[in-house]
């Protein structure tokens, strides 16, 4: 399993950066997880749009879906040229309903709803979902293949059950929008890097990769605050590729 970080910032990117987007590949299957601002351009640095096999969306906030609205034009063009023979499968939570209804466009996407507690098989990946604690319905996900396990927190506040989903994962891709200094204000909707590390330790994961970084926070400070709790941690870097499992 190979993970490529296309974008790792939220709720907006710094200059030259991109919001949430991750390319996961195994056995020739290519899955895009989230598609925020700037992700489509980054994706095409790694593979042609026509080679994408599916898209998985954690929730319908703009920093996770905005590039879907322009990707559809590229897909429509590929279909008209015969470079794609079918709409691109797109899976997303169905709420808020008004946002979900915006996703279909001509025949660019085949849109299917996701639900916590249900599993989904996409290529080599068996995927299970868990509802997080966030302002919109949002799904954390566990992606298992024959030899590897990746768990993605999506956006969330701290809740103990996330450690159950992440149990024993080879790589835990976890949001870390806040730092310790922010937590005195009891901010909503997101984790600090220290909280991400606490979950990683409780889950017994092999590696923690911090993502959904705030563009105005120092990356190295987030890393330092997590490493005190969980040493096997790194901060996601756009364009970097990570091997998951053996």
Pairing of the two strands 241-243 and 2-7: antiparallel
Residue 219 lies in a domain: yes
Residue 30 lies in a domain: yes
C-beta of residue 104 within 8 angstroms of C-beta of residue 75: no
Residue 76 lies in a domain: yes
The values of phi and psi at residue 48, to 5°, are -65, 145
Residue 229 lies in a domain: yes
The 10s digit of each residue's pLDDT in 68-103 is 999 999 999 999 999 999 999 999 999 999 999 999
Rounded CA separation 68/37 (Å): 9
Rounded CA separation 220/88 (Å): 38
At residue 54 the predicted structure's pLDDT band, cuts being 50, 70 and 90, is: very high
> Does this model's pTM top 0.95?
yes
The 10s digit of each residue's pLDDT in 6-29 is 999 999 999 999 999 999 999 999
CATH number at residue 230: 3.60.15.10
Residue 241 lies in a domain: no
C-beta of residue 117 within 8 angstroms of C-beta of residue 77: no
Alpha-carbon torsion (95, 101, 102, 106), positive or negative: positive
**CB < 8 Å & 24+ apart, contacts of 11-15:** 11/61, 11/63, 11/177, 12/37, 12/63, 12/215, 13/37, 13/38, 13/215, 14/215
Q: Total domain count for the chain?
A: 1
Identify the domain containing residue 197 by its residue range.
Answer: 2-236
C-beta of residue 181 within 8 angstroms of C-beta of residue 145: no
Residue 97 lies in a domain: yes
């Amino acid at each position: 399993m190979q993970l490529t970080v296309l974008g790792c910032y939220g709720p907006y990117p710094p200059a030259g950066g991109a919001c949430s987007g991750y390319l996961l590949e195994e056995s020739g299957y290519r899955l895009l997880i989230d598609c925020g601002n700037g992700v489509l351009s980054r994706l095409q640095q790694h593979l042609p749009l026509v080679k994408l096999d599916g898209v998985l969306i954690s929730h319908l906030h703009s920093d996770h879906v905005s590039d879907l609205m322009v990707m559809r034009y590229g897909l429509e063009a590929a279909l008209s040229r015969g470079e794609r023979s079918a709409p691109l499968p797109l899976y997303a939570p169905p709420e808020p309903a008004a946002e979900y209804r915006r996703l279909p466009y001509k025949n660019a996407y085949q849109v299917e709803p996701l639900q916590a507690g249900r599993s989904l098989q996409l290529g080599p990946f068996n995927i299970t979902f868990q509802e997080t604690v966030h302002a919109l319905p949002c799904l954390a996900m566990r992606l298992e293949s024959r030899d590897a396990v990746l768990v993605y927190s999506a956006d969330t506040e701290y809740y103990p059950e996330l450690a159950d989903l992440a149990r024993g994962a080879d790589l835990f891709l976890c949001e870390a929008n806040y730092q310790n200094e922010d937590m005195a204000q009891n901010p909503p909707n997101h984790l600090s890097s220290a909280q991400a590390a606490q979950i990683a330790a409780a889950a017994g994961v092999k590696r923690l990769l911090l993502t959904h970084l705030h563009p105005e926070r120092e990356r190295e400070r987030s890393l330092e605050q997590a490493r005190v709790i969980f040493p096997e941690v790194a901060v996601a870097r756009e364009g970097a590729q990570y091997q998951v499992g053996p």
